[in-house]
């Protein structure tokens, strides 16, 4: 796999009353605040950050994170290499969006999701969303996109191939395209996760191991080609 095209996920921490200088480089970058409050600074722009705020940084962004609180400011960062060209009509520059302002959308097995960033909000090459997983097991399935996942709350298991492992808050998962898997909530409440996948699309699009759609509205399974990021 060409690592220049990979989704690079990391957790960033800014100490209380501290600051960090960062740059997106040639990649697109999305952030999601998991704890604390502060601000994102870029030139003359200042964007307030609070838990469950997402931010999009286009390629070439130089920015700072400032923690003006008494608790650590922790964020999930995902960098998307080799981004697509900017589309006509898409927002330009840094875009900050609150999860609470986004609408619920339906996926498989009573699961819901909210889009934080996608091409309509400026993120050219991927989709960032928060998923809500009830305590009901979905059928084993796969997606046609590469995905990285960070568990925000809840406990469960993640199975792929012959392996199964427990997951909980802070767990990170890398999920290559067309990997048959199941992420199951074994706890009492709703499990929540934040994820980014490329190429951009709907988190609801999923396929059963035989290639048939796992959710109404999922398009027919695309024919594979030699580019793993464009199924």
Q: Do domains 3-99 and 102-198 have the same CATH topology?
A: yes
Q: Which residues of 66-84 are buried (b: 16+ CB within 10 A; e: fewer)?
A: bbebeeebbbbbbbbbebb
Contact 95, 121 (CB under 8 A): yes
Going from N- to C-terminal start, the domains of the chain cover: 3-99, 102-198
Read off the pLDDT of residues 142-182 as tens digits, 9 standing for 90 and up: 999 999 999 999 999 999 988 899 999 999 999 999 999 99
Q: With respect to CATH, is domain 102-198 assigned 2.60.120.10?
A: yes
Q: What is the pLDDT of residue 84?
A: 86
The CATH code of the domain at 3-99 is 2.60.120.10
Read off the pLDDT of residues 192-205 as tens digits, 9 standing for 90 and up: 999 999 999 999 99
Instruction: State residue 44 phi and psi, 5-degree precision.
Output: -90, 0
User: Quick one: which H or E segment has residue 30?
Assistant: strand 28-35
Task: Dig out the tokens for 23 from the structure.
Answer: 């740059």
């Amino acid at each position: 796999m060409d690592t220049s095209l990979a989704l690079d996920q990391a957790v960033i921490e800014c100490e209380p009353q501290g600051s960090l200088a960062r740059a997106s480089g040639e990649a697109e970058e999305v952030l999601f605040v998991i704890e604390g409050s502060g601000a994102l600074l870029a030139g003359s722009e200042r964007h307030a950050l609070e838990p469950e705020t997402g931010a999009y940084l286009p390629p070439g962004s130089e920015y700072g994170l400032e923690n003006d609180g008494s608790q650590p400011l922790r964020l999930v960062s995902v960098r998307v290499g080799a981004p697509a060209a900017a589309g006509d009509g898409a927002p330009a520059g840094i875009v900050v969006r609150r999860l609470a302002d986004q609408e619920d959308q339906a996926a498989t097995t009573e699961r819901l999701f909210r889009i934080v960033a996608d091409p309509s909000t400026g993120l050219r090459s991927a989709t960032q969303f928060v998923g809500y997983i009830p305590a009901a097991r979905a059928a084993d399935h796969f997606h046609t996109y590469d995905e990285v996942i960070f568990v925000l709350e809840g406990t469960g298991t993640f199975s792929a191939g012959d392996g199964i492992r427990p997951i909980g808050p802070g767990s990170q998962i890398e999920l290559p395209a067309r990997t048959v898997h199941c992420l199951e909530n074994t706890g009492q409440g709703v499990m929540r996760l934040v994820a980014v996948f490329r190429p951009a699309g709907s988190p609801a699009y999923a396929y059963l191991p035989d290639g048939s759609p796992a959710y109404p509205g999922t398009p027919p399974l695309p024919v594979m080609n030699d580019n793993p990021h464009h199924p």
